[in-house]
Amino acid sequence: MAQHRDTPHLAQRKGFPWSRVVIYGLLGFFGLIYLLPLIVMILTSLKPLPEIYAGSMIALPQHWTVEPWIDAWERSCVGLNCNGIKGYFWNSTKMTVLAVVISTGIGLLNGYVLTKWKFKGANLLFGLILFGCFIPFQIVLIPMAHLLGKMGIASSTTGLVFVHVVYGLCFTTLYARNYYMAFPDELVRAAMIDGARFFSIFWRILLPNSAPIIIVTVIWQFTNIWNDFLFGASFSTGESAPMTVALNNLVNSSTGERPYNVHMAAAMIAALPTLLVYIFGGRYFVRGLMAGSVKG
């Protein structure tokens, strides 16, 4: 036993710490491999075009330039239109923000009703909502196109917002419901005795204590909706297309010598919002996902 207790001293042994070198060396190596695509993208987007065709992919630019980024934003051609991707970026922003806010709001309200105002069949209803999480995108394409047409919002940002809200509700409801399951009923009962009604209990008692789960649903919804391609390609046309669809069109519509630097810059711009959301919300994400799973 005594020998076992001494084991930690091995690490403090005099001499060169070879094991550390190996561990950090391997970690660094695989980290680099993991980052390589990003590095290539960033380097390529900062090089003039001749350099790309002349040199190696991972060579540093000889002339640093942000011209490709400006080109992508202002002047690149998507289809026949050469106004850059900025319009599509705003399409995506509008669509994503609206869809995230609406689906998160309704999801939280659903979770509140399903846990704190239980009615007959609440669990069955929740089961059905949960089932919605497993419906593949492709199945709903044709019926959804039909419905959007009937509602008169086909090929518009409104239509896309609607689709994403409907599809996202299953997930936001699931998250909110599980979070509110662990929310003490006594608080709701105390608020009732204090004179709060349905909406004031939600607004004053539950919502202010929902930050972890709001962050989780916002990140989840934001990345899914911003990155979605299938719905965007199916339910939008031309000017109303979201960023992902525009990026695809941009890459496909260039003729002659392909401006890889502009493509890379555009792809970086397209990926930036989700990256930022992760950086600022990421540490709450895991914490929120775990919330409620362990008591206390």
Q: Which is nearer to another protein, 106 or 192 (CB)?
A: 192
How far apart are CB 189 and another protein at their closest, in Å? 5
How far apart are CB 197 and another protein at their closest, in Å? 8
Q: Would you mind telling me the total number of residues written for the chain in this entry?
A: 296
Give, rounded to a whole angstrom, the gap between the first and last alpha carbons of the chain. Answer: 35
Q: Which is nearer to another protein, 116 or 164 (CB)?
A: 116
Cα separation of 100 and 165, whole Å? 7
How far apart are CB 17 and another protein at their closest, in Å? 43
**By the criterion CB under 8 A, which residues form the site for another protein?**
184, 186-187, 189-196, 200, 204-205, 208-209
Q: Which is nearer to another protein, 196 or 271 (CB)?
A: 196
How far apart are CB 198 and another protein at their closest, in Å? 11
In this structure, the number of other CB atoms found within 10 A of the CB of residue 222 comes to 21
Q: How far is CA 96 from CA 35, 166, 222, 230, in A?
A: 27, 13, 6, 15
How far apart are CB 200 and another protein at their closest, in Å? 7
Residues 78/266, Cβ–Cβ less than 8 Å: no
How far apart are CB 196 and another protein at their closest, in Å? 5
Q: What DSSP character marks residue 286? A: H
Q: Which is nearer to another protein, 206 or 270 (CB)?
A: 206
Residues 161/102, Cβ–Cβ less than 8 Å: yes
Q: Which is nearer to another protein, 160 or 201 (CB)?
A: 201
Tokens of 197: 């009604």
Q: Which is nearer to another protein, 62 or 209 (CB)?
A: 209
Cα separation of 76 and 262, whole Å? 8
Residues 226/273, Cβ–Cβ less than 8 Å: yes
Cα separation of 254 and 264, whole Å? 13
Q: How far is CA 91 from CA 195, 225, 245, 262, in A?
A: 44, 12, 11, 20
In this structure, the number of other CB atoms found within 10 A of the CB of residue 284 comes to 18
Q: Which is nearer to another protein, 106 or 191 (CB)?
A: 191
How far apart are CB 210 and another protein at their closest, in Å? 10
How far apart are CB 203 and another protein at their closest, in Å? 11
Tokens of 120: 């007959």
Q: Which is nearer to another protein, 62 or 200 (CB)?
A: 200
Q: Which residue is it, tokens 């609607």?
A: 162
